[in-house]
Amino acid sequence: QKEVEQNSGPLSVPEGAIASLNCTYSDRGSQSFFWYRQYSGKSPELIMFIYSNGDKEDGRFTAQLNKASQYVSLLIRDSQPSDSATYLCAVKYPSGSARQLTFGSGTQLTVLP
């Protein structure tokens, strides 16, 4: 069983809409959660992280965490064509592990002009 699951997509939304990207994880001890964006042919770049249950907002991006349901999501408001990329969810192993992050396989998002 994969430890971090994402819908691979592709997910298409019209420009200006809200894009919703979802991620589930299997380790209840996980404490930190990261969203990376990866443009085609480029390396991943961090866009948000969240540690606590609830919502965290940064500009057009909102990360939502529900530890009881082992679920983390990323909402992109007012989606732009420049948001078209693959979004990777990453989960940090519990404290004491040097192994760091486990990545999902990513969701490909296309924002249609």
Partner 1 sequence: DVKVTQSSRYLVKRTGEKVFLECVQDMDHENMFWYRQDPGLGLRLIYFSYDVKMKEKGDIPEGYSVSREKKERFSLILESASTNQTSMYLCASSLPGLEQFFGPGTRLTVL
Cα–Cα dist 86/84, whole Å:
7
User: Taking CB under 8 A as the criterion, which residues in 46-85 touch partner 1?
Assistant: 46, 49
User: Which of these ranges, 14-22, 39-47, 53-61, 65-73, lies near partner 1 under the rule CB under 8 A?
Assistant: 39-47
Q: Are 49 and 34 in contact (CB under 8 A)?
A: yes
Task: Count other C-beta atoms under 10 Å from residue 99's C-beta.
Answer: 9
Smallest gap from Cβ 24 to partner 1, in A, equals: 14
Q: Please tell me the count of residues contacting partner 1 according to CB under 8 A.
A: 21
Tokens of 99: 């192994």
Question: Is residue 44 part of the contact set for partner 1 (CB under 8 A)?
Answer: yes
Q: Report residue 18 as tokens.
A: 């809200």
* Interacting residues toward partner 1 by CB under 8 A: 8, 32, 34, 42-46, 49, 88, 90, 92, 95, 98-101, 103-106
